[in-house]
Structure 1
């Protein structure tokens, strides 16, 4: 069991009534809670959502709190400070004065810094510190007013060969405050992508999706991500740039296996972080399995750190891999399925 869950179980006497677990580990914590506790889960990670569904948990996937009522909340510290601010604000808006919010996290995950973010809302107390984890309790002494989701989005401008794009990125989304180097290296090559039905795998805030839509109004973009905040950010980016909504289909996925078939192209700045951990599974699976989602002559475009072994994986599955660019520590990789003569 995750050590963060073990801390919660040790302090179970503080829990009562309807308890909402936010960003909870994928383990069997729920089955170890006392029988009189009515637990539910909120996650924005589609993989974790699928796990909790398989456990018959009462689970909600999305960017907003579940609508059902709850008495207490346990927040497992997310990676991004801004995302914790968003969660705290929305939780405190929903709970009554005197209610408890618990914060659990690893020291290396920034739990002590996160605990300070609770201080403006009431009295905070450290309940436990063991196994490199801590558990804090906030007793709410202050109410907050509701804020629109759009008010939480950062906006920045990206200059492209076809004009400016305004990017909208919600808390916790990759590259929330400015354009990342990898996507910047890839952008000049996107006008070479074949037109048609295109998947943006790991869409983030929608930079690649929006630019592909802007390049050709006939392109149909499938924006895919595991993160609900990324998917909502992509929707916002499309709306902000007045791109045709019919061009975009947003899809929560566990991996490339969930992509549509018969695509003209798959374009990706693939993800390799899962929380604070490095995880190459999704991007390696993309290299291995993209081909089966492409039509004859379909294209794969990837930008990735120079040190990663993606060219070898792509060659093994496509028969060839071309390096279109190698700059600023990133490579733009290209492959296509051979057209049948």
Structure 2
């Protein structure tokens, strides 16, 4: 079943029947079949939805949409600007502004950018979000507790993703790392207290293969590698923004590591001596424990014999019981008033 936001778009499907369009971060792949236009392309910052889409040159998984060459077609025949773009409102208004700036550089002058979202998502700030690229903004529809806005792009715009990257020097104990952030990254621009608790309590010596699962900006993996340069580090995340920032963070600290896009552990093929994680419990604006629940149930298959899992989470989350069903040797290494750090050995 289509999400409420996609249902609103289908209510207005005549808008998208002609021309070349790009749909940004739809929550499901079915929207492309629901709209009868073969020239609708998909731009995805989340690997799980990208995987649901047909394996053709009409879908791109990336942190940002390339402005000059789309990279969807190796022959370069896909370089024309779009007639319009549709952006699904993300959780962060800063990410929405980032995507609007990106799409304004990809849509031709005289084209339109639509923003659709649930009313509780911040969509009502559409006028402010569009202010830098358009002064002609209209509300098109309101249904399913969602709203659809349209902005006319009258002029050409430029976009450089590097203008949106911020680097922060973060210090924990006696170690300092330079970490890259983009709008939409979890706790962008700062070290969240849960990750800080995990980093403060990393073992003095890590060796072998180490995985930073749900790596975000790569902060946990960078600190692990900075203090243990001999480890073989892998970082994984479902978010293209996280993949991009983690690569930049590794480069900024002269560290080596492999960064992979993965929906959970599906694309993680190796086994590890240590898995480190501050896992998510949100999907978009909704609370969602399913990703971490699935990870906890499957992580034993990603651990080498006597491998260790270190997981930090809010104290109210029921993870200990789930962990014990899979890996019974659980202990609480450290805690604050809000977070527990768990250690589990296979």
TM-score (norm 2): 0.91
Corresponding position: 1:143 with 2:156: yes
Q: List gaps (5 residues or longer) in structure 2.
A: 71-77
Q: Quote the residue 2:336 is aligned against.
A: 327
Give yes or no for the alignment of 1:292 onto 2:305. no
**CA–CA distance in 1 between the matches of 2:246 and 2:95?**
17
Task: Describe the shift of the 1:207–1:34 C-alpha distance in structure 2 as closer, same or farther (beyond 3 A).
Answer: same
> Kindly tell me: are residues 257 and 144 of structure 1, through their superposed partners in 2, closer, same or farther at Cα, counting changes over 3 Å?
closer
Match of 1:263 in 2: 272
| TM-aligned CA deviation for residue 193 of structure 1 | 5.8
3-state secondary structure, aligned to 2:110: coil
1:5 corresponds to 2:6: yes
Deviation at 1:184, TM superposition (A): 1.1
Q: Distance in 2 between matches of 1:64 and 1:232?
A: 9
- 1:314 maps to 323
- The corresponding residue for 2:249 is 237
Do the aligned residues in 2 keep the contact of 1:22 with 1:76 (CA within 8 Å)? Answer: yes
Instruction: Tell me how far apart the structure 1 counterparts of residues 198 and 131 of structure 2 sit (CA, whole Å).
Output: 42
Structure with greater helix percent = 1
Distance 1:184 1:130 in 2: 42
SS in 2 for 1:13: helix
1:95 maps to what in 2? Answer: 107
Correspondence for 1:336 = 345
Query: Does 2:117 correspond to 1:105?
Result: yes
Q: How does 1:15-54 map to 2 (within 5 A)?
A: 15=16, 16-26=18-28, 28-35=30-37, 38-53=39-54
1:71-82 matches, within 5 Å, as 71-82=83-94
Rounded to whole Å, the distance in 1 between the matches of 2:57 and 2:139 is 28
Kept after mapping to 1: 8 A contact 2:238/2:264: yes
Residues 2 and 27, structure 1, Cα contact 8 Å, conserved in 2: no
Deviates most, 224-233 or 189-198 = 189-198
Q: Which residue of 1 aligns with 2:228?
A: 216
Q: Distance in 2 between matches of 1:142 and 1:214?
A: 46
Instruction: Give, in whole Å, the separation in 2 of the partners of 1:262 and 1:133.
Output: 43
Give the one of 183, 188, 192 matched to 2:200: 188
Q: How far 1:155 sits from its partner (Å)?
A: 2.3
2:282 pairs, out of 273, 280, 297, with 273
The one-character-per-residue Cα deviations of 1:36-89 (angstroms, maximum 9, x if unpaired) are: x511110110101011237x7821101121503322111111111121121111
> Judging changes above 3 Å, is the alpha-carbon distance between structure 1 residues 319 and 3 closer, same or farther for their aligned structure 2 residues?
closer
Q: Counterparts of 2:99 and 2:210 in 1: how far apart (Å)?
A: 33
Check whether the contact 1:199–1:259 (CA below 8 A) recurs between aligned residues: no
Aligned residue number for residue 59 of structure 1: 59
After TM superposition, the structure 1 stretch with the greater mean CA deviation from structure 2, 45-54 or 184-193, is 184-193
Q: Please give the alpha-carbon distance, in whole angstroms, between the structure 2 residues aligned to 1:228 and 1:215.
A: 26
* Residue 126 (1) aligns with residue 135 (2): no
Task: Show CA shifts across 1:190-242 (max 9, x none).
Answer: 13463110000000001111011101111111100000100111111111122
- Number of residue pairs matched? 331
Q: Secondary structure of 1:72's match?
A: strand
CA 1:28/1:286 → structure 2, altered by over 3 Å: closer, same or farther?
closer
Shift of 1:277: 1.1
Distance between the aligned counterparts of 2:42 and 2:90, measured in 1?
14
Please give the TM-score of this superposition, normalised by the length of structure 1. Answer: 0.92
Which range is displaced more, 222-231 or 257-266? 257-266
Deviation beyond 6 Å, 4+ runs, structure 1 = none
